[in-house]
Amino acid sequence: MKAYRGEDGRVLMFRPELNAMRMKNGAERMCMHSPSVQQFMEGVKQTVLANKRWVPPPGKGSLYLRPLLFGSGASLGVSAASEYTFVVFGSPVQNYFKEGTAALNLYVEEVVPRAYIGGTGAVKAISNYGPVLDAMRRAKARGFSDVLYLDAETKKNIEEVSAANIFLVKGNTIVTPATNGTILRGIIRESVIEIALDLGYKVEERVVPVEELKEAEEVFCTGTAAGIASVGSITFQNIRTEYKVGDGLVTQQLRSILVGIQNGSIQDTKGWVLEID
C-alpha cells in the first residue's frame, strides 16, 4: 500500500483496512495466525508516522509500505510455525507512470506452468511466483513491459498481468476478467470499478476470451504500484494490437479521479482515505 502527501501537507493512506483483510485471508489459507485488522492498522500507521518526513511532496511519489508476516521458531515438515512475526517496511518511491505518457506493451504468455491448476492471482500471492518471474524475464528480454496470462485450464481467456488486473474499454462498457479464485481481487481494481460505475459506465466482470483484445479501444492495468497504467499494445501469437493512449480518454478520466482521491485533491465521499496525524 502507499502513503501520499496531500496538497495541504497531510499524509493520507488509501484503503488500509482492505490490505489488512487481504493479509488475514492469505494467512488463513496458509494456516497462519495473523494480526487483527486493528493491530494491522496500528502497525502501518506507526510506520508511516515514523517515516513521515520521507513521504514525497504531492505529485512526486509516495511512501511504499510492504507489510510482511512470516513464521519463526523451530518447525519440521509442513507443520505450522509456533510463532509469527509481523513487520512493515517502508520506502519512498517516485511516480512509476507519468499521467498518460508511459504506456505498457504486453506479451500474451501461452505457456502456463502452474503449481496449482488456475491462474496467477491468489496462487501467485501465496507461492507461485517462480513461473511468473520466469515468464517476465523472457518477455522483457524481447522488449516487452510485462506479461498477460491466459487461464491455465483452457488457455483461451485472459486472466491478469503479472502484478496487476486488466481492463478493456469498448465504448461505454468496461470489461474485466471476473475473480474466480485464481485472479487476485485487487484493491485498486475494486476502487476503479466503483468509480467507473459512479461515472455511468457499464462494468462487466466476466470471462474475457483472448480474441476480445482486438475489439477494445483502450486497455489499462490496475495495481498498487502503478495505480492505473495505460496499455499501448498487446502482442498475441506474433500479432500486435495497438490501443488509444493519452488525454481525453476513459483511462485518463479514471486515473485522474483515483489519484485525486488518493492525494486529497478530490473529496473522499466514500471514506477510502485514512488521514495520518
- Does residue 124 have an active-site annotation? yes
Q: Report the length, in residues, of the chain.
A: 277
CB burial class (10 A; 0-12, 13-18, 19+) of residue 143? exposed
Tell me if 220 sits within 8 A of 231, measured CB to CB: yes
Instruction: Let me know the angle formed at the C-alpha of 64 by 60 and 70, rounded to the nearest 5 degrees.
Output: 175
Report the Cα 12 to chain-centroid distance in Å.
Answer: 18
Pairing of strands 2-5, 173-177: unpaired
Residue whose entry in the numeric block shows the C-alpha cell 507519468: 98
Report the Cα 23 to chain-centroid distance in Å.
Answer: 15
Task: Give SS3 for 66.
Answer: strand
The Cα 142–Cα 136 span in angstroms is 10
Task: Give SS3 for 192.
Answer: helix
- Joined grid coordinates for residue 53: 518526513
When computed from its CA atoms, the radius of gyration of the chain, rounded to whole angstroms, is 19
Pick the catalytic residue: 124, 202, 214, 270? 124
Tell me if 146 sits within 8 A of 161, measured CB to CB: yes
Annotated catalytic residues are: 124
